[in-house]
Structure 1
Amino acid sequence: MTRIQQPFTPDWFTSPGDTIADILEELKWTNKDLAAQLEYPVEFVDQLIAGEAPYGQDVAHKLSQVLGSTPEFWMRREARYRVKLSALEQKQESVVDKPKVSS
């Protein structure tokens, strides 16, 4: 039997906050614990984990110091998430904007 290899192209995506939440769970940390380590307000960390707060190099650097990996990993994770989120929002807008066909 011949197998045809298809590239894996999921139609779903997760925010960097999901990765952060997974790491916090492993560390048994709360959002408040992370906020203290990052020296950011808890409200910002809550938004970060919810995928609502875009971030830049400074946050990526602190995430790498506190949670591991590299600043580049965290920046790529954020950039990919924002691109996917934007594409999804545009797709949803195009569905809403389509005129209804009457018969």
Structure 2
Amino acid sequence: MRVPSHPGRLLRLELEARKLSANRLALDIGVPSGRITEILSGKRGVSADTAIRLGLYFGNPPQFWLDLQANHDLGVALKDRGKQIAARVRPAA
């Protein structure tokens, strides 16, 4: 199973297309630069707070960024623990 991309990958593409640095984005949306670099490297997820800020900045709904994160998280969970979870769950009758 292919895990959906981390939202940091799309964020990196957006920054490159607009010729923006992570530091510039951080300053513009009012967050520490470390938050952006951690998202870009896939070490941190996009929180609701960050999704609101990114949505306002890039002109898309915050839900867009949260959906990217949720899809990635679900893909990782299914890949890493899906079989073990399925083995323990008894479906409702």
Q: Could you state the TM-score of these two structures normalised by the residue count of structure 2?
A: 0.78
Determine whether 1:89 maps to 2:74: no
2:2 aligned partner, one-letter code: D
1:38 aligned partner, one-letter code: I
Q: Note the C-alpha offset of 1:11.
A: 2.0
**Which aligned runs of 4 or more in structure 1 are off by greater than 4 angstroms?**
none
Q: Note the C-alpha offset of 1:89.
A: 2.8
Number of residue equivalences = 83
2:55–2:65 Cα contact (<8 Å) kept: yes
The CA distance in 2 between the partners of 1:54 and 1:12, in whole Å, is: 15
1:31 equivalent among 22, 32, 39: 22
- Stretches of structure 2 lacking an aligned partner (at least 5 in a row): 85-93
Q: Could you state the TM-score of these two structures normalised by the residue count of structure 1?
A: 0.71
In percent, how many aligned pairs have the same letter?
20
Report the RMSD for the aligned CA atoms in angstroms: 1.8
Q: Note the C-alpha offset of 1:60.
A: 0.6
Instruction: Please list, as runs of the form range in 1=range in 2, the aligned pairs for 1:15-94 lying within 5 A after superposition.
Output: 15-90=6-81
* Structure with the larger helix share: 2
Q: Deviations over 1:33-54 (max 9, x none)?
A: 1111121111111101112212
